[in-house]
Structure 1
Amino acid sequence: MSNHVDMEEVDSHLKDIERMYSNETLPRRLKVLFGGLKAPRQSREYKAAMIEMQRLSAPVAALLLPAVAVGLLIVMSSGAAVEDRIIETQVLEAEEIKDLDKIEEFEKPEEQVENMDIDIPINSPDVQVQTDAPDQPMSPQPQAFDAVMTVKSPVILKNIYGSTRNTGTRGAMLAKFGGNAITEAAVMRALRWLKKNQQPDGSWQRQKIAMTGLAILTFLAHGDKPGESAEFGETVQKALEFLLKNQRADGKFNGMDGNEYAHPIAAYALCEAYGMTLNPNVKTAAEKALVPIIKGQHPTGGWTYKMKPGIEEGDDHGAKGKYRDDTSYMGWCAQALKAAKLAKLHAEGLDKAMKLAVKGFKANAHPSGGFGYTSPGTGGLTSVGCLCMQLLGASNEGEVKRALDVIGNWTPSFSQYAPIQEAIKQIKPEELVKRDKAGKPALGKDGKEEKRTPMEVAKSKLAAKVPEEQRMFYTTSAQYYLYYATQCKFHEGGKHWANWNKAMMASYPKAQLIQEKAIKDDKGVDRDIGWWENADTHTDRPVMDTCLAALQLMVYYRNLPTTSKEAVQVEEEIVATSTDTDDIKVDTGNL
């Protein structure tokens, strides 16, 4: 047997092996692959092609698998997309302002003064004759935590309150509904006065809970929110933190007035604040504050002081053994409930309480038109019952229409406190003694002489001297009644609103007290501040006076949900009326 080895054949095989494991170009390798696959299965070319296929499978798989995964993610993402819900909205276009019709002369009705006490114990003046009582200093309680934190959120709610959130649309609505630069300047002075007089703990004196609630409502009405308003955002945040810090576990607040008027006012402010900010901390506080209101409602539909749910045990208010439904107190409770409803807050029994409240107001409605204090009447609380029934969805009820007829005889006016203050200083002690028809001192149940307040005596002396349009409610609380009436008239619209607005614009800005160059704005420019001091018997001047007047002068564009025109519609669903593209960013992290 020959041992001869064909060296050429060996060299050929070695070159083939060297070529298989050398770094050949990709085109050469693909040529070997596809060419070998066509060869017979037992041939060397086919086997070389299979080896090449194994070598190429790894990089091909490394490219294809991620591409397939990305493709699947794109398909799944597009398939799961949810179509945005679009709400048709309408922009209120500014119209050319025409001259208003000549204001109608209001027939002066017979003055009807109810023997009632509104009892907003928010500083019923305790004035000593011929004595200037200084304000008592309050101990500030610095805020220890950041309760209302401004959070950047990826979630955006479109066009919720866009119609009045910026300067342009606010100006358009001023022109549309009757405001002007004079009314807006008065509002800005009032907001700056409130900012300057805020206490270090975020509150306003003297009844801190109630006054802080009113101040919050006033800033929110102008669209000033924490994190958005350069000039007033921090002021509003500190105020909200004050309410949150002073809320108890039962939902009520520390430091309230004796009759707890402050609670529904503060609850109203928190509900509005949540509706405009959607802040989860405010939501929790607002829902806690609603609980005492709902639980304290009477089966008759109304509320009384301190939201007591039972019948009157004593005879202090002339309702022993009965449910005492107080229209004035009920007004703040109803506004709080409506604000909660519009803000979509969750409170057990909310819808039922709103429906039952209509029954409570109707019980105090007079057959001929108007609402009384704790029984049917036709006095100043007519405006409270009228507006609240509008807000509760009962705009078409006869009680509302007849109440509007009663209010149609009113004239908006502003009576100053300064003349009363001067008259009080001149009162003699014997003038404070209450007398019977025979002129003898009236004696109380304890046998002691009954006294009149200095405010009551001063007003009785000045009533005949004030302008005729101020006389109707001069001896009571005109601005309190007009706060509600202005909203009623605005919602009514038409010629009735035009005449009302013309009279209001002529008196309110002129009545404002002004201090020039008293504060710097957010740009460092010196600005005037302004405030009001009215002649109301029951008020906490000057904070409450300033808030009530400013809120009336913002009725043209107030973007508080409860004062929007949709708030008084009978329909259950409230639809936005703006296509403003300023969107609201919402924190959903804790919802």
Structure 2
Amino acid sequence: MRTIVQGMAACLLLVAAGAAGQENGGPTPYDKAMARGQKALAAEDWLTAAQSFGQALRLKPGDEEAAKAFKDAVKKIEVYNTRIDPLKGRTMERYGSTGSRDAIRDGLAWLVKKQAEDGHWTNTSPQPHAKDDLAPTAFALLALLADGSCEVEGEHREAVRKGIAWILARQQDGGSFGGATHYSEGLAALAVVEAFAMGGTDETFLAAQKSLNYVVEARCPKGGWVYQPSTQEGYGDVSVSGMMFQPLKQAQMVYLDFRYDTLLEFADWVESVTFESGEVPYRPGQAAPHHAPSLTAIGCLTRIYAGDTRETSPSLALGVDRVFAAKDQLRSHIYFLYYGTMLAFLVGGDSWRTWNEPMMEYLLSKQAKEGDDKGMIWDPEEYWAKLGYVDPVLFHSMAMLSLECCYRYVPHPMVPEEEPKEE
């Protein structure tokens, strides 16, 4: 059985005992967890503190003291410190390109200009079943969060505050944000989780926790997640599952509480549907033309995040090779560009260098340099744009996140950077 691997210490220990009291009158499990947390705080051991206060919060849900201590400890961990200067600048110099800084600045300014007064971004897609304002709002917020703005600080903090408030106002008792599809639900959950981790309010913390409960419960019994939130029948599909997996992975990184086995089980499911060739289908057993490099990129990302390596998994190694061999398609498929960029940065080395240059060249060539839409990145000839499933805000946000990729998340600790090839 694979183990979840991440750049921090062991995962949050979950406590089976739910009672906060003991008949013998001694320290309760809650008391012990709080004491461990306070001791860890004094030693500036932020990881242990987050684990301990998280245990206390699980034992006594809603406890204000435990909730505040947990959030304070998570802030100290600084999972997203690469998004803040000076580390952001150094990271961009090493992994990205200083030439993309102006493009990112202008692109974020365009996004903020397109935000409605109540905090949302409007989906202008002509496809009726794709018209859901939750998806573009969440994607736009992720682009702003990736650049270092959050609800309380950063150049675009007001836009983030309004956008998160709009999403939180939609949340239902079961944790859903009322999205038309699970694409929207996964994106919204990811935005709220990241907003919390970057210094969110108490309301954001509670909403993040509720959204994780929904994501876990919405999974199909046979594996993965399905497109429509109204059903859990049959098998999930890899495409929408990729969106629902991401908030769980980021929540794990900041010690939010959910059933971590969900990550392992999903990665096992992805491995089980992967063909020997390394290709990943849309749904189990489907043959071409349902294979797409974007799906293979999603599958590879999932498995690497769960601890698989190319050295120990032949199908993963073949899948990664297939993604990079298809890099010419990044100019015609925005989802492939988005997921492929994340995978290339995760793998690092030559894979990143040979991917990053054509990715930036393409996106910068599609950015408006003047006029009312200065900063917008949009390609109406892209596959999904022509079909009417992707509107300018969605396309632009994925482009922004791809340009920001080198500082959005820290490099994965279990993927050593490849050495440059000798000339």
Compute the TM-score of the two structures, normalised by the length of structure 1.
Answer: 0.53
Shift of 1:87: 7.4
What SS does structure 1 have at the residue aligned with 2:86? helix
Q: Which residue of 2 aligns with 1:531?
A: 377
Q: 1:414 to 1:367 in 2, by over 3 A?
A: closer
Find the aligned partners of 1:304 and 1:383 in 2 and give their Cα distance: 19
**Is 1:549 paired with 2:396?**
no
Q: Which residue of 2 aligns with 1:501?
A: 356
Matched residue type, 1:287: Q
Q: Which residue of 1 aligns with 2:209?
A: 287
Structure 1 regions of 5+ residues with no counterpart?
A: 1-79, 89-150, 312-322, 416-473, 520-527, 571-591
In the comparison of the two structures, how many residue pairs are matched? 336
Preserved contact between residue 121 and residue 133 of structure 2 (Cα < 8 Å):
yes
Q: Which residue of 1 aligns with 2:54?
A: none
Structure 2 regions of 5+ residues with no counterpart?
A: 1-38, 48-67, 124-131, 416-423
Provide Cα deviations, 1:293-336, integer angstroms capped at 9, x if missing partner: 2112123321112346643xxxxxxxxxxx22200011011111
Shift of 1:86: 4.6
Q: Which residue of 2 aligns with 1:196?
A: 113
Find the aligned partners of 1:209 and 1:345 in 2 and give their Cα distance: 23
**Is 1:232 paired with 2:141?**
no
Compute the TM-score of the two structures, normalised by the length of structure 2.
Answer: 0.72
Q: Which residue of 2 aligns with 1:167?
A: 85
Provide Cα deviations, 1:29-69, integer angstroms capped at 9, x if missing partner: xxxxxxxxxxxxxxxxxxxxxxxxxxxxxxxxxxxxxxxxx
Matched residue type, 2:271: K
Q: Which residue of 2 aligns with 1:253?
A: 177
User: Sequence identity of aligned pairs in percent?
Assistant: 26
Find the aligned partners of 2:227 and 2:162 in 1 and give their Cα distance: 28
Bigger Rg, structure 1 or 2 = 1
Find the aligned partners of 2:137 and 2:162 in 1 and give their Cα distance: 10
Find the aligned partners of 1:81 and 1:345 in 2 and give their Cα distance: 18
Shift of 1:167: 3.3
Q: 1:158 to 1:265 in 2, by over 3 A?
A: closer
Q: 1:275 to 1:531 in 2, by over 3 A?
A: same
Shift of 1:83: 3.9
Provide Cα deviations, 1:163-218, integer angstroms capped at 9, x if missing partner: 4243332221111113122x111111110011000011100011211111111111
**Is 1:387 paired with 2:296?**
no
Which of the pair is proportionally richer in helix? 2
Preserved contact between residue 221 and residue 232 of structure 2 (Cα < 8 Å):
no
Task: Write the mapping of 1:108-123 to structure 2, written as runs, cut at 5 A.
Answer: none
What SS does structure 1 have at the residue aligned with 2:228? helix
Q: 1:155 to 1:288 in 2, by over 3 A?
A: closer
Preserved contact between residue 151 and residue 200 of structure 2 (Cα < 8 Å):
no
Find the aligned partners of 1:547 and 1:336 in 2 and give their Cα distance: 17
Matched residue type, 2:393: V
What SS does structure 2 have at the residue aligned with 1:261? helix
Task: Write the mapping of 1:140-155 to structure 2, written as runs, cut at 5 A.
Answer: none
Find the aligned partners of 1:264 and 1:237 in 2 and give their Cα distance: 19
**Is 1:356 paired with 2:211?**
no
Q: 1:82 to 1:237 in 2, by over 3 A?
A: closer
Q: Which residue of 2 aligns with 1:586?
A: none
Matched residue type, 2:366: A
Task: Write the mapping of 1:413-562 to structure 2, written as runs, cut at 5 A.
Answer: 415=331, 474=332, 478-516=333-371, 528-534=374-380, 535-537=382-384, 539-558=389-408
Bigger RCO of structures 1 and 2 (CA < 8 A, at least 6 apart): 1
**Is 1:338 paired with 2:249?**
yes
Preserved contact between residue 514 and residue 531 of structure 1 (Cα < 8 Å):
no
Find the aligned partners of 2:40 and 2:391 in 1 and give their Cα distance: 56
Q: Which residue of 2 aligns with 1:213?
A: 138
